[in-house]
Structure 1
Amino acid sequence: MSCSDNKDPENRPAQVETLESDQISDITAVCKGRITDKGTGTISQYGIELNDGKVYEKHPRTISSGDNFGVEFVGLTPERTYRYRAYIDDGTVQYGEEKSFTTLSAFIYTATVDPASITSNSAVVSFTGVNTLKEWGFHYSETEATVS
């Protein structure tokens, strides 16, 4: 056997699978994917491509656990359908199946203070429409207004 009889190992591209999205609200969603084959090359990047109706845009993973990964999208438009797909780049970009989700209708959040409940060291604040939020609150200051 000569050296010319030795063959290079098989070149196999990495592969990904697009998983279902979840945690969909009016302005947020988490899109997920899974690496199903790491291939024989060097993986330089993987994540989710999102299409808001115009073009696909790559978003590197922000969540990762083993071969599963995801991207948490914020600032989405309420009541819009987005298409997405997982991608992986090992010198050649491979894509998972295209999937879609639709953001919910815009939520209306309110915070009210009953003037009769205000004392020198406390106040009762009532929040509505917050059951889908991860956190909420208010800022109190005697000298500056906070708008955000």
Structure 2
Amino acid sequence: MINTTLSLNDAALMRRLRALPTAIQDKVIVKSVRHGANVIKKEARKNTPTDDGELKASVKSIKARKSSNLGNFVFVVKATAPHAHLIELGTDERTSTRGKKLTFTGRNGNTIYIDKVAGVTAVPFLGKAYDDKKNEVIAKFKERLQTELSKF
């Protein structure tokens, strides 16, 4: 997991934010952080290799549970497809450790026996999205924060 801490060095925005009741502050910050996380989500979807679209559709921006060590305003951008980690990180060539054939069930239900499975080259769609858009996330966060504060 990649953690990013956002430090808001805009004193005027901070004064306006602190002038609001705590419950409204939280809502404003959550909307702003979600807006920033969606930038990475859109870029990750754009970077995903597409076969049947399952991986692209599984990229989500989710508000994490409140945590004392991470803070209240944490959003996670992740892919929930069962094979997402295999695509993101890649795999090595695999052979049986017991000298037997590897057994798989094919799409049509047939059992397949093979000696080895070729590895998959990593396609880091989530990591690349973060690296490419981390500066834009901060800009979108500030932009959305200003928009939300202007409503009050």
Query: Is the TM value for this pair above 0.5?
Result: no
Task: Flag the structure with higher strand content.
Answer: 1
Task: Flag the structure with higher helix content.
Answer: 2
Q: TM-score, structure 1 length as denominator? A: 0.28
Q: TM-score, structure 2 length as denominator? A: 0.28
